[in-house]
Structure 1
Amino acid sequence: MKVKNTIAAALAGLAGSFLISAAAVAAPQYTMKLTTTTTNDADVEWLKTLKQGIDEHSGGRIKVEIYPAGQLGSAPRTIEGVTMGTVEVALNASGFYEGLDPRFGALSATGIFDSMKQGDEVLNDPQIRQLLSTYGASKGFQVLSVFMHTPVAVVTTQPFKTLADIQGKKIRVPGSPLYLHTFKALGAAPLSTSLGEVLPAMQNGTIDGAVGGNTIFTSLKFYDVTKNLTFLPSTHIAVVAIINSQFLKTIGPDLAKVVKDAALKADEHIYTWAAQDSENARKIWEEHGGKSLKLDDADAKQFIKDASASADAVFAGHPKLLEDYKVFKAVAEKYRQK
């Protein structure tokens, strides 16, 4: 009996040691915070897909946490967090990164992305991928992903059907110098304000319209203020995910590959998802009485011409940006339907 008890005790000890070892192996070694300022959109869908891929292939060694809707702060604050190492991944519209590296400005230029599909083909081109991989090298981050988020549109209190309709109108634009220059060249009176100020400003007549993504205007129910939405030709919002460089070094090459492979899988998923999300937003807009307008061919060509001239003028002050812009245009031509 004593022998049996000794054996039982030994087996129990071994079992306990095994459980402790298993628990130690299963315990995450690293925490990876993913953040964006948006909610229920392509940004969040991409982050969820990234998390799923990492969860499946990291063997439990990385604990992934997602913080949407600006839970970790504004876009500039979370981008700074990535450069400082307090946040691992931040996903935002490309314009927010221009302060870190002016070359990101090329992603906002009109005349490169004709459609969601063509835009993703351009961004997935090996030459463009290689170019983007050099951004942020000296600022403590790497570009993890870039993809098309939504077509750019203008909501206006009065219909915007021709370029003449925008003359003298006060239009809110993103803070990028490119948008300010373009709409000024078109004869409008552009001003930069936060998106949260736009709805009340349009309601009280302080401004006549605003530039943004079509999905954004639908999700924020701008159709309660105006029914006029005009899609801008060959103009789209690209979003960028950046990751802290030191984090990738810390987790080692094997886990770094897991993260990067999961990002590529998330890209493949989001290409279709984001395009459908944009189309769904257009349908919802129209179901609420909204109108989806476009410039006629002549005005569309003139808009692209004027916007391209603005890009040349704005980018001239940044030789490397101008050089990259030319690369983007050349690559875009390869995927353009003839």
Structure 2
Amino acid sequence: MTSTGRFRRQFLGIMGAAALTMTWVAPGLAADFTMKFSTPTINDLQHEWMKRYKEELEKRSGGRIEVQLYPASQLGPVNTVLEGMQLGTIEGTINPSEFYVGVDPRFQVPAVPGLFDSMEDARKKLNDPKARENLLNLGADKGIIGISLLVYGPQVIATRKDVKTLADLAGQRLRVLASETETGTITALGASAVPMPLNEVSAALQQGVIDGVSSVLDVFVSLRTNEVAPHLLRTELWYLNTIASVSKAWLDSLPEDLQKMVIETGKDLEQPMFERQLERDKANRETWAAKGGTSVELQGADEEKAQAAAAGVAKAFLDAHPEMKETYDLIKNGGSN
């Protein structure tokens, strides 16, 4: 055999061995588990949390878990996502606590008026170990496990027309979440409460189906609500808090070390996200004003009337639902020891 033939044979042998090696190791390059994570919002606290969670969990797991992000309801409305999580076809989601009311009615407790008086107070109470454990496990028997509790911000109302007093709210159709206390409080203020998925809100505002939205400023800025409803009424009668959760069926399918990473990563992000949200709230107010949005607070008798109405709704709700008492008391007394 000539030297050229020997070289050709050696070269083909080397290439063949390399191909076999590549075939052998390639499966190890792919993640062992995929985690599809959904949220109805985009470019806000929830979306930012998902991005940080993806980066941190993929790093901690050494790439064994791949986190895929689906903001802006790309996997469907919240109810569809929660059903998918219970079936194990969707692995994670992050939403305001009231969105989980269909899983367990007690998820609306964090939105009861008067429970918190500031973002710092909300963080302190929700970080209490007993309160935290209770909230994160409310949906466990329905196949949903909480992994992170985040303070979203105080409730405000964005409207199409300028609203400065309670009288201006009379008859206004305001989009709300699914909690009894929010619906009850908005109604007590003289407006009409209209439950509606977030992905339908912008069109509904543009078409005049609704006159305004009750939510948090972070959402309004990210969705550019000021372009349709530029007037902000800072009622701040309750605080919105958001919960990141995972499918129990999926979590149980993971090795023990990965289960621990999924849960611990969620908890470890809570404090840095809270600090980020405090800064974000200040920036949001500046952004809202810079883009032509107005902002007012209820004054004098109107403020007192609104506070009294919200307190009455909260009391009636708790009296009618004694099963909420344990969760309410744990949060109310959280961080006091």
TM class by shorter-chain length?
A: 0.7 to 0.9
Which segment drifts farther, 112-121 or 282-291? 112-121
User: Which residue in 2 is equivalent to 1:54?
Assistant: 57
Alignment match of 1:63 (pick from 61, 66, 71)? 66
User: Which residue in 1 is equivalent to 2:317?
Assistant: 314
Give the drift of 1:329: 2.1
One-letter code aligned to 1:236 = Y
Which segment drifts farther, 289-298 or 52-61? 289-298
Matched, 1:94 2:97: yes
8 A contact 1:113–1:234 mirrored in 2: no
Change (3 A) 1:248 1:212: same
8 A contact 2:156–2:216 mirrored in 1: yes
One-letter code aligned to 1:175 = A
Alignment match of 1:238 (pick from 238, 241, 247)? 241
8 A contact 1:228–1:292 mirrored in 2: yes
Change (3 A) 1:201 1:85: closer
Change (3 A) 1:29 1:230: same
User: Which residue in 2 is equivalent to 1:114?
Assistant: 117
8 A contact 2:40–2:198 mirrored in 1: no
Instruction: Return 5+ residue gaps in structure 1 as ranges.
Output: none
CA distance in 2, matches of 1:55, 1:196: 29
Give the drift of 1:104: 0.5
CA distance in 2, matches of 1:191, 1:101: 21
Alignment match of 1:83 (pick from 81, 86, 94)? 86
One-letter code aligned to 1:133 = L
CA distance in 1, matches of 2:258, 2:20: 27
Count of aligned positions: 332
Under a length normalisation based on structure 1, what TM-score does the superposition of the two structures give?
Answer: 0.85
Change (3 A) 1:88 1:199: closer
CA distance in 2, matches of 1:246, 1:109: 30
Q: What's the CA shift string for 1:136-160, capped at 9, x where partnerless?
A: 1210111111211232111234544
Give the drift of 1:121: 2.1
CA distance in 2, matches of 1:321, 1:82: 24
CA distance in 1, matches of 2:229, 2:30: 52
Change (3 A) 1:180 1:234: closer
Change (3 A) 1:55 1:208: closer
8 A contact 2:212–2:229 mirrored in 1: no
Indicate the percent of aligned positions where both proteins have the same amino acid: 33
Change (3 A) 1:245 1:172: closer
User: Which residue in 2 is equivalent to 1:324?
Assistant: 327
Q: What's the CA shift string for 1:107-159, capped at 9, x where partnerless?
A: 11121232223222221111211211331121011111121123211123454
User: Which residue in 1 is equivalent to 2:258?
Assistant: 255
Give the drift of 1:241: 1.3
Matched, 1:272 2:279: no
Instruction: Return 5+ residue gaps in structure 2 as ranges.
Output: 1-6
Give the drift of 1:208: 4.3
**Secondary structure in 2 aligned to 1:331?**
coil
Change (3 A) 1:206 1:89: closer
8 A contact 1:151–1:278 mirrored in 2: no
Q: In angstroms, what is the RMSD of aligned CA positions?
A: 3.2
CA distance in 1, matches of 2:96, 2:161: 27
**Secondary structure in 1 aligned to 2:158?**
strand
Give the drift of 1:204: 6.6
**Secondary structure in 2 aligned to 1:43?**
helix
Q: What's the CA shift string for 1:237-284, capped at 9, x where partnerless?
A: 211111111222211211111111211222232112223233222111
One-letter code aligned to 1:210 = V
